[in-house]
Structure 1
Amino acid sequence: MKHNTFLWFFTVFSLFVSLIFARPWWKDAVFYEIFVRSFYDSNGDGIGDLQGIIQKLDYLTNLGVNAIWLMPIHPSPSYHGYDVLDYTSVNPQYGTMEDFEKLLEEAHKRGVRVIIDLVLNHTSSSHPWFIKSSKKDPTYDEFYIWRKDITESGWGRPWGGGSKWDVWIRNSSREEYYYAAFWSGMPDLNHRNQKVKEEVYKFTKFWLDKGVDGFRLDAIRYLIETGPGKGQADTEETISWFEEYNQFVKSVNPNAVLVGEVWTDNRTVSRYYSTNGIMDLCFDFDRSGAFLSSDKNNIVRAYLTQKRYTAPADFYAPFLANHDVFRAMNQLGNNEKLARLAAVCLLTATGTPFLYYGEEIGISQIENGDDKYKRTPLPWTTDKKRNYGFTTGRPWFQMYVANKKVNVESQIKDKNSLLSLYRKLIHIRKNFPEFRSENLEIIPNNNPNLLVYKRTEGENTSWVLINFSGDKEDIDVPQLENKQLQNLITDRKITIKKGVKISGLDFLILKEI
């Protein structure tokens, strides 16, 4: 009996220790951001849907992706979904709750995690909560931020610009003004209200119980305001609120990830890190700009600046572009060679990388200020007459394909395509632990065009050398001389006697063996 008791205690203790010290799954993830409406249409109505994602899961796993982020899937009056009508339903244009549950099941079968967008800062102005609040329903009276008089409340947008009165909107039903940081159709929730908090916790638990693996949290900087200007973003109350929210999420599912959108510099982003838990990851906007600048000095500066702050390197999640900015290919001047270098920067970087759908095939866009152009349907085939394989119906928005090679079908067949490079880089990241570690050392050199850094984890060491010049460049890296190396792109073994030659707008990834 004593032996059995000891064995039981030892087993439970071992499980407890493994849970406490286990490496979080997201540190080994490569995320893929999906705008459901534009990914793949399974039923011919011109709108991408959840069944479409299910049908393309094998494409994602073959690419090497092991986590997906779905932009808002909730009912909404807008095409984008960031003004939510119902936090516990699925947008009927995308399918049913059964479709979503099937997506979770099929993704998890393949080892793919699924996180969804949660928009906590605001709702739609058509949300039942807001309608009831505008009528002073006692339950919902203080769900939003109301003012009878705004003569002293001319705050302006949190990010500047426009009129100082833009955020206060007159409501004729209540005959008061409500606060809406983004626009009149998105009234801000009053997160000082305990009833609001209870509702947020309720729908958060709803999705965790469904089996989602976490959340991408939209616009979290603006959750709780204390006044105009600096008081509209990154307040201590906001950060404290999310620290409690993190604790709640982990109490429901300790393995759930929280990814924060804090669209600003990393000095501020780092405030959302705590050893007690606030966000697990935050997007790294500094490195996004640096990677797309194709400038060695900008990239070095981004890495060195990041080290000044308290958050660890793998807290900052690198990406190239997302649904709010021009496509990466546009920012790179539609230069495929630069797109290849940007992919190397992203997928050999510290932190958990995020890809925006279509980035892997070099999608570009018409440079129009309307955000729809940043979120156009994904071309799957070469068949222009059949909407490039996206839908058998009429696409919800016009498709833009820069050339006949910008589609999945063509690039899967081409071992030298951008898609093939992405697949190779993701394979390297997944198979060599140094590329998933926090350790990245910039190696100084006097050539303004050559970026060299070393990635290490235990006894594993690899080197990344990138030439941002259009000309062939020579570089001496004494640490590499006379070492046995493997080119991880070509799989060839080489030994460097003296100096390395790198072609213009090219790179090397070398592993010490």
Structure 2
Amino acid sequence: MIRPADAAPWAQSPLADDILYQVMPIAWRDSDHDPASPDAPARAAADPYRDGDFRGMNAALPYLSTLGVTGLWSTPIFPSPAYHGYQHAEPDRVNPALGTESQFLDFNRAAHAANLRVFIDLVAYGINRDSALYRDATTNPASPFAGFIAMKDAAAGAPFGYDYRTCTGERVSFAFLDLRNAGARDLVTRWSLKWLDPRGDADRTAAVDGYRLDHVWARYPDSPDGWGYSVNNFWKPWKQALRAAHPDVLTFAEQAKWETFGTDLHPAHDATFAKPFLFAAREAIRTSSAARLHAAVESAIAAILESPASEPPARTLLATLGDHDVDRLASALGATTPRTAPRLKAAAGVLLTQPYPPVIYFGDELGMLGVAAQFGSDANDIPRREPFKWNAVDSFPMTNYLARHADASAHRYSEDRDTRSVEEQLNVKGSLLETYRALIRLRRETPALRRGGYRALESSDPRVWACLRATADQSVLVAVRLSTAATPPGSASPSITLPPGLTIDRELTISDAPLPASSPITAGSSAQIELEPGQTRVFLLSRAPDTH
């Protein structure tokens, strides 16, 4: 049955109207090698890898506005020996490799002036062992941080945590915080409050709008009392403290258990990620199976409807088809040739018309490629996180951070003039980037796509995903051809059964003109809709006229 807005919890979420865009700063955009900058030679000498930075993020804001997204989520910006920024040190300061705190705040102000929200990633459960806090807590008996570190063997001075080797060969060591300690909990809260009012002057334009939380458990399973790391002991009081200072702050959590929708975290957070949808939708699109895709959407809906009572009650899921921890969407779909490329347009159509707020991973709108490697360090994931392709040919402002690792650089997926760049796609009719721009614009202009209920519709072609999205005031029909094969000449177009009492008014995707009077669609009839491979078409529906 159709679930109208008043029965769809996602419709009331403060994230319902958002379309977020994820970036990894080091891979996003460089500013140091700008030939127009008078200090470029000195800055370039200090940055031989053309690393992305805060000024580069600022310079990229016009692109995000052109794309049409409403907010940006950045992976961690705090000091870390790892290129990706996770396993960071104290998060009350920025990574100097990205720039200064003033430059980050300038970015926030510019993003807000462009009507973009800013969310930053935070690892709240631990601290890098090279940090000043860790050294003081473990070597200074009089340390104010004594007891803050979770110890596996206190007598031996062995912390509870893990380590790994980063792409430059350095050892990254990370220790859990013992959040049973009230002082440790208060410290993490103070760190988090810092970026909601960074100068202590109530200037919200310089502040972030909230956090994406990394690897969140409802209760950490493998330790005494979960080291105090649980929804009730830590996350709910943490969120309440943030809301007391800034009522509009938003937090979304990456659940540690990817096989779930993370709804056990909703009592503390505004959203979790629809991870099962990511994998199921990828497989459905790859195999052109509308039935699998309907099942994936319905599974996500069932999860949110069964979500436990939460504060705030308007919880939601965030829908993604790609992120920094999985193989690139284009590679996962096998969309590597002109014949299979339509799968990427179909994926864009699905992501931007399904019920939940969508998140676009940087470069997916260009069809960038990348599959995890076996380099023996955290460089394994570099192929999934290659520098964003601003240009057809590798050059400023593109970053070249992967040059730190010889194998990752030698085996990079991106190639010059491979058509997967902004330069080669922006304002090019029919390009994947223009498809994303059109669908983003359509979602932003269509309340039923952002806040509407969902109902699967029957199609005569099992490779066509069709659904009804409806609010109390608007109903639209969505049809996406998942198949890469065109309809054979002379064959009938797919037939989609409309709900009783509704008829097609006009198309929203291709044009805004009413259908010709000679082609009426009567209430409850089957609408034949012509679709090219990978194409999405959206139609505004209206009540059928009473013929009695």
TM-score, L = length of structure 1 = 0.82
Q: CA–CA distance in 1 between the matches of 2:462 and 2:315?
A: 27
**Higher normalized contact order (CA 8 Å, seq sep 6+, divided by chain length):** 2
Q: CA–CA distance in 1 between the matches of 2:345 and 2:282?
A: 11
Call closer, same or farther: CA 1:41–1:190 in 2, change over 3 Å: same
1:92 to 96, 106, 116: 96
Amino acid at match of 2:299: T
**Residues 1:75 and 2:79 aligned together:** yes
1:502 is displaced (CA, Å) by 2.9
Equivalent positions of 1:23-172 (< 5 A) are 25-44=14-33, 45=47, 46-135=50-139, 137-138=141-142, 139-148=144-153
Comparing both structures, which one devotes a greater share of its residues to helix?
Answer: 1
1:134 is displaced (CA, Å) by 2.7
Q: Which residue of 1 aligns with 2:176?
A: 188
Q: CA–CA distance in 2 between the matches of 1:199 and 1:393?
A: 33
1:365 is displaced (CA, Å) by 1.9
Amino acid at match of 2:280: A
Q: Which residue of 2 aligns with 1:164?
A: none
Q: Which residue of 2 aligns with 1:208?
A: 196
2:450 to 436, 442, 445: 436
DSSP 3-state at the match of 1:175 = coil
Q: CA–CA distance in 1 between the matches of 2:69 and 2:536?
A: 23
Moved over 6 A (4+): none
Amino acid at match of 1:280: D
1:178 to 159, 182, 191: 159
Amino acid at match of 1:379: K
**Residues 1:341 and 2:346 aligned together:** yes
Conserved in 2, the CA contact under 8 Å of 1:145 and 1:190? yes
**Residues 1:243 and 2:232 aligned together:** no
Q: Which residue of 1 aligns with 2:541?
A: 512
**Residues 1:401 and 2:391 aligned together:** no
Conserved in 2, the CA contact under 8 Å of 1:377 and 1:395? no
1:298 to 287, 292, 303: 292
DSSP 3-state at the match of 2:197 = helix
Q: Which residue of 2 aligns with 1:485?
A: 506
Call closer, same or farther: CA 1:390–1:465 in 2, change over 3 Å: same
Call closer, same or farther: CA 1:99–1:223 in 2, change over 3 Å: farther
Q: Which residue of 2 aligns with 1:390?
A: 398
Q: Which residue of 1 aligns with 2:377?
A: none
Q: CA–CA distance in 1 between the matches of 2:220 and 2:362?
A: 32
**Residues 1:468 and 2:482 aligned together:** yes
Call closer, same or farther: CA 1:328–1:443 in 2, change over 3 Å: same
Q: CA–CA distance in 1 between the matches of 2:297 and 2:422?
A: 33
Call closer, same or farther: CA 1:148–1:314 in 2, change over 3 Å: closer
DSSP 3-state at the match of 1:464 = strand
1:379 is displaced (CA, Å) by 1.4
Deviations 1:309-362 (A, max 9, x none): 323896110011111111111101123211111111111111211111111111
Amino acid at match of 2:481: N
2:279 to 280, 289, 293: 289
DSSP 3-state at the match of 1:26 = coil
Q: Which residue of 2 aligns with 1:158?
A: none
Q: CA–CA distance in 2 between the matches of 1:280 and 1:313?
A: 7
Conserved in 1, the CA contact under 8 Å of 2:505 and 2:539? no
Conserved in 1, the CA contact under 8 Å of 2:54 and 2:99? yes
Q: CA–CA distance in 2 between the matches of 1:144 and 1:392?
A: 36
Deviations 1:156-177 (A, max 9, x none): xxxxxxxxxxxxxxxxxx6233
C-alpha RMSD over aligned residues: 2.8
Equivalent positions of 1:222-237 (< 5 A) are 224-225=220-221, 227=223, 237=230
Call closer, same or farther: CA 1:394–1:502 in 2, change over 3 Å: closer
The number of residue pairs the alignment matches comes to: 460
1:80 is displaced (CA, Å) by 1.3
Conserved in 1, the CA contact under 8 Å of 2:13 and 2:314? no
DSSP 3-state at the match of 1:483 = strand
Call closer, same or farther: CA 1:227–1:86 in 2, change over 3 Å: closer
Q: CA–CA distance in 2 between the matches of 1:198 and 1:479?
A: 54
Q: CA–CA distance in 2 between the matches of 1:23 and 1:41?
A: 38
The alignment-based identity, stated in percent, is 23
**Residues 1:218 and 2:204 aligned together:** no
TM-score, L = length of structure 2 = 0.77
Deviations 1:102-148 (A, max 9, x none): 10111111111111111112211111222223326343332122133
Q: Which residue of 2 aligns with 1:353?
A: 358
DSSP 3-state at the match of 1:219 = strand
1:496 is displaced (CA, Å) by 5.4
Q: CA–CA distance in 1 between the matches of 2:486 and 2:126?
A: 50
1:272 is displaced (CA, Å) by 1.4
1:225 is displaced (CA, Å) by 4.1
DSSP 3-state at the match of 2:418 = coil
Q: CA–CA distance in 1 between the matches of 2:347 and 2:362?
A: 15
Amino acid at match of 1:241: F
Call closer, same or farther: CA 1:366–1:272 in 2, change over 3 Å: closer
Q: Which residue of 1 aligns with 2:532?
A: 503
Q: CA–CA distance in 2 between the matches of 1:510 and 1:129?
A: 57
Call closer, same or farther: CA 1:375–1:407 in 2, change over 3 Å: same
DSSP 3-state at the match of 1:143 = coil
Amino acid at match of 2:537: L
